[in-house]
Structure 1
């Protein structure tokens, strides 16, 4: 490996778009969660697919690691250069290439964020529905197979990426998928790349499905006396086939943090936050039926928001919940973990997780996208307290083990990175070895985001 030689070669290709400044290196060595900073040796800012190809080919020649970088919002250390090397930042590849109104698709570069894309689409009457909360880049969202608050209706990135342009480790540029809505032609390379976290190739273009802006939208909050009642209301609503656009859960601790952070006055008890999309009549019927189901489980204190500004404020509070919870304990950092279980096991998973937290020595509010069985615990710790970190890791491990035992997964949307590596063998068994074989076949020198998703011997 010769990182220095790679940097010298890259400087002739990129000039001042290869940064060695300490501020740039430090910025690309940070993590949203509890991981210690790990700076890369240099930051590259390509402006085209051809430049990405040249960068990767040079790095491959010198066996220099390359880590793709979007908005830096990931939670499992995905973008940390744990073996050094180059952070390849897609900041300058953030354009909408083409909108096809008839096909309801859009082609974009990987660096554009979901908010910027939807702002660009506003005049078309279309929107991109996947909403992880953070203003993440679309390339990063595809790389981690992200989802979020709207997945219960519109699906995850797996369901919304139709085609990709990808640079492989030897610099080859391939296109996966097509503009067709389905295909039986060979291996699904698009699905392979979505969720691979930059370990198999670097995404340089995406073709995404779009949705029409709904005629009517209604959102509401609903209070419950207990977590069990709130979660049971979710499973009953799903079983009735009510087409919710979002259904989010916050426990009492999360609500208290949101109130303090957002200057809100939501009753401090477990809450569901829901949203319905459709026609005026359809939304009204869906909302009425949900209200009936929620009431059966003790739901009360309904607060409906039909004005756009009120809905925006409501979902801003939900999206800011992580920061609100972090602020609820001064000086704390967080180990943020997520699991996903079958809907039939959701109540059990949440109740047992809550029991673990109640018996613990650290605060850990629970919230999540419970409409698809996905929930999060934000484990608040003093970063200088080794015992608290160990306890948080114990709780996180318990959640992962429980999810697997209940037929679920160790992560529903955050991805593996390096934080979830310890649980991959338990979830996938021999399948994890197959993932490693695929990694070796496509990246034999382990250049692309090494140390993430799989472990390689030797």
Structure 2
């Protein structure tokens, strides 16, 4: 690779000029996400603006035998961006155009660098919205690659459900479109789903066709406090089992509420809390809220604060969207580590109780939060990167949480993806034959192992 690298860098610099960089600061930025994983900088960074730009980079890297790592908004949490074998970081953030919107078909096509917030800003005067909300202002390409979900998944699904078609640059530089815009198809293998969640290990997604939804006639939000986290989770489980079509249902434990109060200058009651959002007509939203209020009361809810005004709803959700930064910000110089297991809803209460027990001896600040409507919850830690004993303690807790989730037929990651951080746990979650099949797919599509190497497969 060393012998081939300099001619490759010269070719890329000649093509991209100021959009090519080998500056250490730029390389470091592109070799890390937002969590605790160590920086592994690429050899160079290229800012691309079109599928044709990506093709140029990939073809030249394939000829030189040099790895390629796609980069979106940099918000990933499991080491997806680490250039573990060096190579070229392909920054897609300037591929930020909404290419097409069809109000009749309720779909759109965007470049991979469009962020979810920018897309919804573009759609707001057309009566449509894109519902997937992982919290961070992630790029759509990154959300496809990690099979993101987030706060609205309980009603609208995940990126798997809303992605209709992809344009992908394969490891040899060939470009494919994975499917048509039809809402369903029985034609051939499902190539779209193959690349959703592939984390850039099979190719680089450059354009995405997405399903959109109509902006609800009415939206209502509510917060309710509980005497303990088990009561909150029990209430959430009951709401799910009753089939109430809540749009969002988020758990925030008392530690998180305390952290976001300080971080965002809020004054929420410091208690284990559920946050709800209801979408629909005026009548259906009122009915949903009334039924949920009755259910949470049976679990000892200490209050049910509802809001329909957009500013009031924004205030209620501000706590949830500030969660990551609130937790990490509790310690100067800290970095974040978050786990994101997902279990069958019937196992959620016991799994959260198990996590709470593990945290009893945790030496660092830690909170529990989650999209409890679909059994997905997180524990977020704020660790001192200069204290290896803290890293070791959190690693043990994380491993026990994952083991518990897998033991009840859950998964090691509900939405963050595998990257480097969760790769070791795939041996526990999948049978050897399933892992061999994944490896065979990777080898068939990327025989040189140049597309984001070292990720997913243990």
TM-score bin, normalised by smaller chain: over 0.9
Residue 371 (structure 2) pairs with residue 369 (structure 1): yes
Equivalent runs, 1:240-319 vs 2, <5 Å:
240-319=242-321
In structure 1, which of residues 3, 8, 11 is the aligned counterpart of residue 10 of structure 2? 8
Q: Which runs of 5+ in 2 are unaligned?
A: none
Check conservation: 1:357, 1:363, Cα contact below 8 A: no
Deviations along 1:365-402, one digit per CA (max 9) or x if unpaired, are: 10011110000001222211111110000000011111
C-alpha separation in 2, matches of 1:296 and 1:388: 39
Equivalent runs, 1:154-233 vs 2, <5 Å:
154-233=156-235
C-alpha separation in 2, matches of 1:12 and 1:331: 39
Provide the TM-score with structure 2 as the length reference: 0.98
Q: Which runs of 5+ in 1 are unaligned?
A: none
C-alpha separation in 2, matches of 1:242 and 1:354: 27
In structure 2, which of residues 424, 439, 442 is the aligned counterpart of residue 439 of structure 1? 442
2:457 corresponding residue in structure 1? 454
C-alpha separation in 1, matches of 2:38 and 2:338: 14
Give the Å deviation of 1:336. Answer: 1.0
Aligned residue for 1:268, secondary structure, equals coil
Deviations along 1:416-436, one digit per CA (max 9) or x if unpaired, are: 000101101110122122111
Deviations along 1:89-120, one digit per CA (max 9) or x if unpaired, are: 01221100000111100000000000000000
Greater shift in the superposed pair: 286-295 or 307-316? 307-316
Check conservation: 2:330, 2:382, Cα contact below 8 A: no
Greater shift in the superposed pair: 2-11 or 240-249? 2-11
Check conservation: 2:65, 2:450, Cα contact below 8 A: yes
Aligned residue for 1:55, secondary structure, equals helix
Check conservation: 1:144, 1:197, Cα contact below 8 A: yes
Provide the TM-score with structure 1 as the length reference: 0.98
Give the Å deviation of 1:285. Answer: 0.3
Give the Å deviation of 1:360. Answer: 2.9
Give the Å deviation of 1:409. Answer: 0.3
C-alpha separation in 2, matches of 1:93 and 1:56: 16
C-alpha separation in 1, matches of 2:5 and 2:314: 46
Deviations along 1:198-224, one digit per CA (max 9) or x if unpaired, are: 000100100000000000000011000
Give the Å deviation of 1:363. Answer: 2.8
Equivalent runs, 1:45-84 vs 2, <5 Å:
45-84=47-86
Deviations along 1:182-235, one digit per CA (max 9) or x if unpaired, are: 000111000000000000010010000000000000001100001111001011
1:100 corresponding residue in structure 2? 102
2:128 corresponding residue in structure 1? 126
2:394 corresponding residue in structure 1? 392
2:119 corresponding residue in structure 1? 117
Check conservation: 1:128, 1:210, Cα contact below 8 A: yes
Aligned residue for 1:301, secondary structure, equals coil
C-alpha separation in 2, matches of 1:332 and 1:91: 27
Aligned residue for 1:244, secondary structure, equals coil
2:154 corresponding residue in structure 1? 152
C-alpha separation in 2, matches of 1:9 and 1:445: 21
C-alpha separation in 2, matches of 1:385 and 1:24: 27
Check conservation: 2:150, 2:371, Cα contact below 8 A: yes
Equivalent runs, 1:333-352 vs 2, <5 Å:
333-352=335-354
Give the Å deviation of 1:11. Answer: 2.1
